[in-house]
Structure 1
């Protein structure tokens, strides 16, 4: 039986922190120009909730604003993220391509499941040529429930996955794995939280460790 690995994107494969701050600053500067924001940019608050669906992000960052303003902020934010990706300001975590090549050589199937928007994810995949290893990239936008576990279930059904793991840095990734009978591999990276990582079946400090995990490669 072949093994399938489903990877989160932000904070797992892609070092979102490299473009997060500048894109968020530019977004809130725009809100200031529109007289819709006066306080400091809530960067730390965003870091705390990194990985939740986008509607929740903007409800949290702009709790006193209308949905129209939240949607405008989200659109502007993603325009800036994509610009920064294409200007090379972001970056993959170390050894992503090496690990993907290793896994593919051993017959593993690789997928991406993310709470990010479709266009944003596609830009990352295209810029770093990840499609040479990744079978398909899935966004939470593609399902109605906005639930990561349901997104993983959708992938499993489409590709008839019976054995595999979800690799991610947040609790939603761990829950998505366990609720679907997969191994939960927690990435103890930039946005990871200790309490969440303790619930993973396996915790890694670098993606390269996937190359020596006998429990998933055998």
Structure 2
């Protein structure tokens, strides 16, 4: 049994929910006609951000109540979409199943809310492979490093890796002085992964980095 803990981001690392999230964002924003519809590039730029930062970006100047209502509307649209769609990155299920079988401890650190995390794990058949999966919502945190702080109350920090596609993943790992793997197949802009310990270009590369 390995002592290594692999901490996974979700969007852009294990899943790609753009086909679900973009229409969901647009449908929610249509309920607030005073706000213009953002460009697709702006919507894609929200991946990896906290719910608070997402709605500050998509509905600038909106009230906390408006942002909360938009979030709830989006969550309802997304839940329906997730249970009808395979959003896993190509090869992701095979990699997760293999790493779990090899004895690695797998968990999550996503800047999403609790409902989204639960719906992703359940709709995509991932829940059996993850131990104590967490997100920003479940720890009531403000940044991804807060999720890792909670993880390290239960998992050994000495053998932990953060795996994700955005700068926030790399920064969280650096804040805790653990190594990181940057996934250069997600939503990162150029230069976001420059401080990652390693960079991979397909999720299957994890099977070489973490052998049986």
Aligned partner of 1:82 in structure 2 is: 79
Is the 8 Å Cα contact of residues 111 and 135 (structure 2) preserved in structure 1?
yes
What's the CA shift for 1:217? 4.5
Using the size of structure 2 for normalisation, the TM-score is 0.92
Root-mean-square deviation (CA, aligned residues, Å) is 1.7
1:132: how far off?
Answer: 1.9
The correspondence of residues 40-119 of structure 1 with structure 2, limited to 5 A, is 40-88=37-85, 90-119=86-115
In structure 2, what is the Cα distance between the partners aligned to 1:77 and 1:105?
A: 35
CA–CA separation in structure 2 for the residues paired with 1:17 and 1:142: 23
Q: Which whole-Å deviations, capped at 9, do the CAs of 1:16-51 have from their partners, x for residues lacking one?
A: 21212211121122223xxx33x3334321322321
Q: Unaligned regions of 5+ residues in structure 1, if any?
A: none
SS in 2 for 1:194: coil
Deviations 1:37-92, CA, capped at 9 Å, x for gaps: 3x33343213223211111111121112211111111111111111111222x510
Paired residues in the alignment total 211
Tell whether the 8 Å contact from 1:24 to 1:41 is kept in structure 2 after alignment.
no
Distance 1:41 1:188 in 2: 25
Instruction: Tell me if structure 1 keeps the 8 A contact 2:111–2:137.
Output: yes
Partners of 2:106 and 2:129 within 8 A in 1: yes
Higher helix share: 1
TM-score after normalising by structure 1: 0.90
Gaps of 5+ in 2: none
**Alignment partner, residue 5 of structure 1:** 6
- Shifted more, 198-207 versus 42-51: the winner is 42-51
